[in-house]
Amino acid sequence: MFESLSEKLEGALKTVSGQGRINELNIAATMREIRRALLDADVNYQVARDFTDQIKEQALGEDVLTSVSPGQQLVKIVYDGLVGLLGGEHVGVQTAPNPPTVILVAGLQGSGKTTFCGKLAKHFRSEGRAPLLAAADVYRPAAVEQLKKLASEVDVPVHAILNDDGTPVQDAVRVATEAVIEARRTARDIVIIDTAGRLHVDEKMMQEVEDIKKAVDPTEILFVVDSMTGQDAVNTAKEFNDRLDFDGVVLTKLDGDTRGGAALSIRSVVEKPIKFASTGEKLDALTPFYPDRMGQRILGMGDIVSFVEKAQEQFDEQQAEKLRKKIRSEDFDLEDFYDQLQKIKSMGSLKDLIGMIPGVGRQVKDLDVDDDAFRHIEALIQSMTPEERRHPQIINGSRRRRIAEGSGLEVRDVNQLLKQFKEMKKMMKTMSRMMGKGRNIDLSGLLGGMR
């Protein structure tokens, strides 16, 4: 995300990296480049100007450290400025003192609003909450069916009101009001209301959302914005905020060709925090928004905290200890390896994960990192019997031919997998002994030549 902006900011900061000290001349040239990079990213002109003026003032101030290089000084100042521009601190969703918490989701058609509702339901489910989705988008064809499909994937109920012919009753206020009543009756502690959008802001849409707000008195109003629309998204957010006074912003489609203008402008223009960021179509591609982590990623510093958090969601300490014991005793088999692959896949997009590692993201930006990179390995392991997975050493020539045929691959692929797995086991055991607890295990050896 923000690849073009990141490259241009990095290039601008390099202009002072080799200088002996920061002075008005070199800082002015750098600020011009940074302002140009921000404007190219469709950042609001006034926001870009205020940002660079603030950076220049701090860089030339008396508090600048003299014990580090000019480049390091400026990177730190720019980073702090970006974090401030993005909101400073993470702001979570408010919860009602008496359930249910009611979350009203608004935005234009095509912004990813309905998909976000499904993602938000999954997010709350993962926290042990019991959400209910309200299908208050009663005009768009198949909107109710889309919401029901998303809800079925995360095992969350949907409240909708249909006519005898199966079409939605066109009364969004009634849907929202009855959804809250239904949540109380069924002990659901969160209601997520998906509202109708239009291709542009119009009076009918705004009035309907206002009426829903008055009827259910939501705990939280979230405005969903397509981050790929840049400055238009900021203008739309301002119009919605003037009417609804929403509580927070959700940025969608950050995995696309996002220039960054919406993310870097919206907080300053509407003075409301960004609460969530969506980075893909899958229902788990939603993360709470942390300004400091986003600032790091924009400046190419990675986001190791988010990477660790994603890993912790998949691995618990008991499983990790069991795995360490298997590695030390050489009992780690292909069945264990297959389980680890599934956990890695469930962490999200491989390219996105790699981009979180400091110093690596920029290097892989032009690489085609296939999310199906493990597909061939999985096919081979799935073609084995349970006995063969637990004891790979019994796989002889005839078994190899059967596994290759069953997976649609060649015998040489089976040979390569078994050879690399054997080498990896040795390496893992050595690392486990050297590190005591064997926390860092390199699975990359198995990927060579298998994609």
Q: Which of 289, 317, 351 is the last residue of a domain?
A: 289
* Residues pairing with 288 in the sheet: 276
Cα gap 87→291, rounded to integer Å: 6
Same domain, 49 and 170: no
Q: How many CA atoms lie within 13 A of 215 on its CB side?
A: 20
CATH number, domain containing residue 39: 1.20.120.140
Residue 21 has pLDDT above 70, yes or no: no
What number of other Cβ atoms are within 10 A of residue 129's Cβ? 16
Query: Quick check: is 95 in a domain?
Result: no
Which ranges constitute the DSSP H helices of 217-332? 231-244, 261-270, 291-298, 304-314, 317-328
What's residue 256's pLDDT? Answer: 55
Work out how many domains the chain is built from and give that number. 3
Domain that holds residue 352: 308-447
pLDDT band at 27 (very low <50, low <70, confident <90, very high): confident
CA 238 to the chain's CA centroid: 24
Same domain, 278 and 316: no
pLDDT band at 449 (very low <50, low <70, confident <90, very high): very low
pLDDT band at 177 (very low <50, low <70, confident <90, very high): very high
- Does residue 276 sit in helix, strand or coil? strand
Same domain, 139 and 265: yes
Same domain, 16 and 70: yes
Same domain, 43 and 121: no
Mean pLDDT of 206-224: 93
Phi, psi dihedral angles at 60 (to 5 degrees): -95, 0
Same domain, 135 and 172: yes
Q: Which amino acid is at 243?
A: R
Same domain, 271 and 143: yes
Give tens-digit pLDDT for 43-95. 888 888 888 888 888 877 645 444 456 666 777 788 888 888 888 888 889 99
pLDDT band at 130 (very low <50, low <70, confident <90, very high): very high
Residue 191 has pLDDT above 90, yes or no: yes
Whole-model pTM over 0.75 = no
Give tens-digit pLDDT for 219-271. 999 999 887 776 777 888 888 898 889 999 998 887 655 566 677 788 888 88
> At 223, which helix (H) or strand (E)?
strand 220-226
